[in-house]
Structure 1
Amino acid sequence: MRISLLAVGKLKDAEERAISDRYAKRFNGAGRSIGLGPIDIRELNESRQASADERKQDEAARLLKDLAADTFIVALDPAGKSVSSEAFARTLGEKRDGAVKTCAFLIGGPDGHGAQVLKSAGMTLSLGALTLPHGLARVVLLEQLYRAATILSGHPYHRA
């Protein structure tokens, strides 16, 4: 199952980019043998529309634009479901085993996701109650994808 990560906003910090790249590379290595990956990471510019609603609508349209109709969409959202690493891994494994071809994780802009993204999502996921900058949220998501791949493969990285 291919994994896409689409994020509104670009990583500007070299350290965040280096950590993101490290976990993406680790995920690709760990996921290959268990049918996960490769991961495709795409950054979209933040909308320049005047109002928050217009920005969210514009960003939602661009996030969804190139996704195939059968893509399983996971929208990162503070109001989403908070799950354990093990439950996250099980969900990925179930989607992979259920013949889902692509799972796309969507990170919205500073105003959050537009209604169309939330309506299209098969799952809304919260990374926790704390507010995270978007770059750090991306790092946390990539680390959890890598962790999920190691859990599914029986690798000792996850020692819970």
Structure 2
Amino acid sequence: MKIKVISVGKLKEKYLKEGVFEYVKRLGRFAKVEILELPDEKTPDRASQAENDLILQKEASRILTKIGERDFVIVLAIEGQQFASEQFSHQLSEAMVKGYSDLTFVIGGSLGLDAVVKKRANLLMSFGKLTLPHQLMRLVLLEQIYRAYMIQQGSPYHK
């Protein structure tokens, strides 16, 4: 199993880097984990909608080059489905049962994601209506992926 996390923007804060490293290490017993940081486009102050759309298109182009044809793609989007941890674990299990060996997660930048990336998704997933920094979202996502595997193992970690 291979897990790929594609994220727009660079992780800067030391505490987030350490947390991400910890969960990548923990997940190593279940899957090969690859973190891909893609550059974000600079957004001018008071950018027009057209400027924002162009930025999203450029970021989408970079993202799509990193997604394999046979990847099961889960895109994080506020309008996506919300899952309890057990349901999320089941979703990952089902993807494996259906023959997907590569799970790819996509986290957009500060403007979100272009519709073309969302269209490529096998699943749109939301962590709720709260707005979270996309850098923090990487850590939260990795913890939930780890939790999903621990649920599958019947581990008390989830309790």
Give me the TM-score of the superposition, normalised by structure 2.
0.92
Aligned position for 1:41: 35
Aligned position for 1:100: 100
CA deviation vs aligned residue, 1:107-143 (integer Å, no higher than 9, x gap): 0111110111011011111111211111111111000
Q: Percent identity?
A: 38
In 1: Cα distance, 2:141 partner to 2:157 partner: 16
Aligned position for 1:34: none
Aligned position for 2:22: 22
Gap runs ≥5 in structure 2 = 45-50
Q: How does 1:1-160 map to 2 (within 5 A)?
A: 1-29=1-29, 31=30, 37-48=31-42, 51-159=51-159
> Which stretches of structure 1, 4 residues or more, deviate above 3 A after TM superposition?
none
Shifted more, 40-49 versus 90-99: the winner is 40-49
Does the CA-based 8 Å contact 1:61-1:116 persist in structure 2?
Answer: no
SS of 1:157's equivalent in the other structure is: helix
CA deviation vs aligned residue, 1:65-94 (integer Å, no higher than 9, x gap): 032211111110111111000000000011
Gap runs ≥5 in structure 1 = 32-36
Amino acid of the residue matched to residue 12 of structure 1? K
- The number of residue pairs the alignment matches comes to 153
Q: CA RMSD, aligned part only?
A: 1.2
CA deviation vs aligned residue, 1:31-80 (integer Å, no higher than 9, x gap): 2xxxxx11110101102477110111111111110322111111101111
Does the CA-based 8 Å contact 1:81-1:124 persist in structure 2?
Answer: yes
In 1: Cα distance, 2:116 partner to 2:71 partner: 15
Give me the TM-score of the superposition, normalised by structure 1.
0.91
